[in-house]
């Protein structure tokens, strides 16, 4: 039976065990689905593989919509610790997601929405709200069919809303995790209902190479994929991730033990530039194998590799001059994923100036313990103070800002880095020795940073910040105006509760601070600069979230060019 016949049969069943809500206007087969799962271990690059596949399909002329189903019970990613889970990426609509959505946006050069990121917590929240409203008609609400039914409803609604040719769904976690089993079951049901011609399963697995043996081993990959097969899901394509190129014998074993044809077992080893990955996958015919499964290979034919080759060339640097060394002064320096969008924004600048950038992590809690700021910043061409929350490491960051200001070292402050720069200037230029933020000292004598007025009546951490894309009014004849091509307004993404206290604006301006960006019609300062400094600029927003590989953010690019000098 084809998917159309199966789905019609399910819909016509009255009072049965099925729960498959079909959105109004949904047409089976109009949108196809690719499900990307991971086996063996987490962190093997499902998000990068998924976004690269999206890029390959987009390059062929398909309209592609990525989405991620996450297993954790948080409603969104906003309250997750960045050190444990990587950065919290903020979408233009204000939804807080994990870092993979940033990868999707950068690779596809498009803004995504909350429909592109769904957690288990959000699904359960929807489920309970419907149950309390009596939407399940008195039935006992169960994982199957109700939780799985809600997941299918979400992806089908995304298909309608996006009008995509293909929706690519990344399943968070690893095959075998208890928490994502219901998501895998939901998408097994999706393939059953839609038909195999409309749903393709891709498994990204890991080929181990223990240093003690010096050779690749496939057993863990075989067992991980067999666990997926044991759940009723037969992968159509397998991507073998590895440190070095996957040997032919390994592919043979994977193919033989998983019932996947050899030409659908694709090796992807580590690359220095992830933007070259879509071209590598194109050359392995990854897109062709997926489109064959979805019966789209004749409709969307490849136009050669010209466009992707140009993309790879433009997202590479050939290293003129000595590498620049940029310091990132934070308190989550044990994991690069914590500041991944900042690293990517700097990478985009390296493409623009054709020069390599190296990074040095500056752990500000160590400065608080007594390490010399001078020794920590020695040899740096510039310093970034990124966003963050909480008191730990703050005095170390203020010391970093003071040193950069006094020694004419290029400084870029992002969100919290904007507030840190103001606290330094208030204490050491304006003369307010006890200046602080009420986030760190609620009884500060001079609260130069205070909570947003609209947030003072809200309690709790989740969902009570200024979030998402907002317009920023740029002051004419300033550095900010110059680097943004004299634009009167720009749109950037925010994630903060505290801001410059309006009562201190005049004193800051008398001390030489130029507030070159603010909220339209309000006394909310959003960009500051010191014109007499080599480069000292900070923003209350996060420019790293909207930087793109071929369109480096203007503020980052101006900072890097100042570092070059």
**Rounded CA gap, 267 and 207, in Å?**
9
Bridge partners, 38 (sequence order): 204
Domain for residue 460, yes or no? Answer: no
**Rounded CA gap, 550 and 561, in Å?**
16
Contact (Cβ atoms closer than 8 angstroms) between residue 255 and residue 267: no
Digitized pLDDT (tens) for each residue of the chain, 565 residues in all: 566 666 666 666 655 667 788 888 899 999 999 999 999 998 888 999 999 999 999 988 899 999 999 988 888 888 877 767 789 999 999 999 999 999 999 999 999 999 999 999 999 999 999 989 988 887 888 888 899 999 999 999 999 999 999 999 999 989 988 888 999 999 999 999 999 999 999 999 999 988 888 889 999 999 999 999 999 999 999 999 999 999 999 999 999 999 999 999 999 998 888 898 998 998 899 999 999 999 998 777 665 668 888 888 888 877 777 899 999 998 766 667 889 999 999 999 999 999 999 999 999 888 988 899 999 999 999 999 998 887 888 999 999 999 999 999 999 999 999 999 999 999 999 999 999 999 999 999 999 999 866 555 544 444 467 899 999 999 999 999 999 999 999 999 999 989 999 999 999 999 999 999 999 999 899 999 999 999 999 999 999 999 999 999 999 999 999 999 8
> Residues 91, 206: one domain?
yes
Domain for residue 229, yes or no? Answer: yes
> Residues 497, 470: one domain?
yes
Q: Are strands 324-330 and 382-385 parallel, antiparallel or unpaired?
A: parallel
What's the pLDDT score for residue 153? 94
Give the number of residues written for the chain.
565
Domain for residue 9, yes or no? Answer: no
Q: Which 3 state secondary structure label does DSSP give 326?
A: strand
The DSSP output letter for 144 is I
**Rounded CA gap, 91 and 216, in Å?**
39
> Residues 85, 165: one domain?
yes
Give the count of domains, the chain.
2
Q: Which residues are catalytic?
A: 415, 542, 544
CATH no. for residue 545? Answer: 3.40.50.880
CATH no. for residue 163? Answer: 3.40.50.300
The closest alpha carbon to 155, from 125, 128, 193, 103, belongs to 193
> Residues 304, 392: one domain?
no
The closest alpha carbon to 391, from 434, 422, 436, 348, belongs to 436
> Residues 406, 277: one domain?
no
Domain for residue 524, yes or no? Answer: yes
Q: Which 3 state secondary structure label does DSSP give 84?
A: helix
DSSP string, 415-454: THHHHHHHHHHIIIII--TTEEETTT-TT-SEEEEEE-GG
- Give the contacts of 357 (CB within 8 A, at least 6 positions apart): 323, 324, 325, 326, 346, 347, 349, 350, 560
**Rounded CA gap, 201 and 36, in Å?**
6
**Rounded CA gap, 423 and 428, in Å?**
8
> Residues 308, 332: one domain?
no
> Residues 350, 429: one domain?
yes
What's the pLDDT score for residue 463? 47
CB atoms within 10 A of CB 158: 22
What's the pLDDT score for residue 558? 98
**Rounded CA gap, 134 and 497, in Å?**
37
Domain for residue 144, yes or no? Answer: yes
The closest alpha carbon to 363, from 392, 337, 341, 391, belongs to 392
Last residue of a domain, one of 257, 282, 314: 314
> Residues 248, 354: one domain?
no
Last residue of a domain, one of 314, 345, 370: 314
Burial class (CB in 10 A: 0-12, 13-18, 19+), 277: buried
Q: Which 3 state secondary structure label does DSSP give 529?
A: strand
> Residues 410, 267: one domain?
no
> Residues 290, 358: one domain?
no
CA 193 from centroid of its chain's CA atoms = 31
What's the pLDDT score for residue 295? 93
Contact (Cβ atoms closer than 8 angstroms) between residue 255 and residue 247: no
Domain for residue 365, yes or no? Answer: yes
**Rounded CA gap, 199 and 88, in Å?**
30
> Residues 219, 338: one domain?
no
Burial class (CB in 10 A: 0-12, 13-18, 19+), 49: buried
Burial class (CB in 10 A: 0-12, 13-18, 19+), 268: buried
Contact (Cβ atoms closer than 8 angstroms) between residue 254 and residue 223: no
The closest alpha carbon to 345, from 535, 559, 55, 539, belongs to 559
Domain for residue 4, yes or no? Answer: no
Structural domain span for residue 361: 324-455+465-564
What's the pLDDT score for residue 461? 46
pTM: 0.91
- Residue 392 has, within 13 A of its CA and on its CB side, a CA count of 6
Last residue of a domain, one of 272, 292, 314: 314
> Residues 197, 226: one domain?
yes
């Amino acid at each position: 039976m084809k998917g159309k016949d199966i789905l019609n049969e399910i819909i016509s069943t009255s009072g049965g065990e099925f729960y498959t809500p079909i959105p109004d206007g949904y047409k089976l087969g109009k949108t196809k689905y690719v499900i990307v799962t991971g086996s063996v271990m987490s962190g093997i690059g499902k998000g990068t593989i998924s976004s690269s596949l999206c890029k390959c399909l987009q390059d062929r002329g398909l309209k592609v919509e990525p989405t991620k189903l996450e297993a954790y019970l948080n409603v969104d990613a906003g309250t997750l610790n960045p050190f444990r889970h990587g950065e919290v990426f903020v979408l233009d609509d204000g939804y807080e997601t994990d870092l993979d959505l940033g990868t999707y946006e950068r690779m596809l050069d498009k803004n995504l929405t909350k429909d592109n990121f769904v957690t288990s917590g959000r699904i359960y929240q929807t489920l309970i709200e419907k149950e309390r409203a009596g939407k399940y008609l008195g039935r006992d609400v169960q994982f199957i069919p109700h939780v799985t039914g809600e997941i299918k409803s979400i992806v089908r609604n995304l298909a309608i809303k996006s009008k995509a040719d293909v929706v690519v769904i990344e399943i968070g976690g690893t095959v075998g995790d208890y928490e994502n089993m219901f998501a895998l079951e939901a998408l097994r049901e999706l393939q059953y209902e839609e038909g195999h011609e409309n749903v393709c399963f891709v498994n990204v697995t890991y080929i181990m190479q223990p240093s003690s043996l010096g050779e690749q081993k496939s057993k863990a990959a075989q067992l991980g994929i067999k666990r997926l097969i044991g759940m009723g899901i037969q992968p159509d394509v397998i991507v073998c991730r590895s440190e070095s190129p996957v040997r032919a014998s390994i592919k043979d074993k994977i193919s033989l033990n998983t019932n996947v044809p050899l030409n659908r077992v694709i090796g992807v080893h580590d690359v220095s530039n992830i933007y070259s990955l879509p071209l590598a996958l194109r050359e392995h015919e990854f897109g062709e194998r997926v489109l064959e499964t979805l019966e789209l290979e004749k409709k969307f034919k490849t136009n050669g590799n010209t466009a992707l080759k140009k993309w790879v060339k433009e997202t590479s640097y050939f290293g003129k001059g000595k590498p620049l060394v940029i310091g990132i002064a934070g308190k989550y320096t044990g994991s690069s994923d914590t500041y991944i969008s900042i690293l990517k924004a700097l990478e985009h600048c390296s493409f623009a100036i054709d020069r390599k950038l190296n990074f040095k992590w500056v752990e500000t809690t160590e400065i608080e313990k007594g390490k010399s700021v001078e020794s920590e910043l020695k040899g740096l061409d510039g310093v970034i103070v990124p966003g963050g929350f909480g008191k730990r490491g703050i005095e170390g960051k203020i010391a970093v800002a003071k040193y950069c200001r006094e020694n004419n070292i290029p400084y870029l402050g992002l969100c919290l880095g904007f507030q840190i720069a103001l606290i330094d200037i208030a204490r050491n230029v304006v003369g307010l020795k006890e200046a602080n933020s009420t986030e760190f000292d609620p009884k500060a004598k001079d609260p130069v940073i205070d909570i947003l007025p609209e947030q003072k009546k809200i309690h709790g951490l989740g969902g009570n910040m200024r979030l998402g894309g907002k317009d920023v009014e740029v002051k004419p004849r300033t550095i900010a105006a110059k680097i943004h091509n004299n634009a009167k307004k720009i749109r950037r993404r925010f994630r903060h509760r505290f801001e410059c206290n309006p009562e201190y604006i005049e004193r800051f301006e008398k001390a030489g601070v130029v507030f070159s960006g603010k909220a339209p019609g309000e006394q909310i300062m959003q960009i500051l600069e010191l014109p007499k400094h080599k480069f000292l600029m900070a923003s209350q927003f996060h420019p790293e979230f909207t930087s793109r590989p071929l369109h480096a953010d203007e503020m980052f690019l101006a900072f890097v060019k100042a570092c070059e000098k």
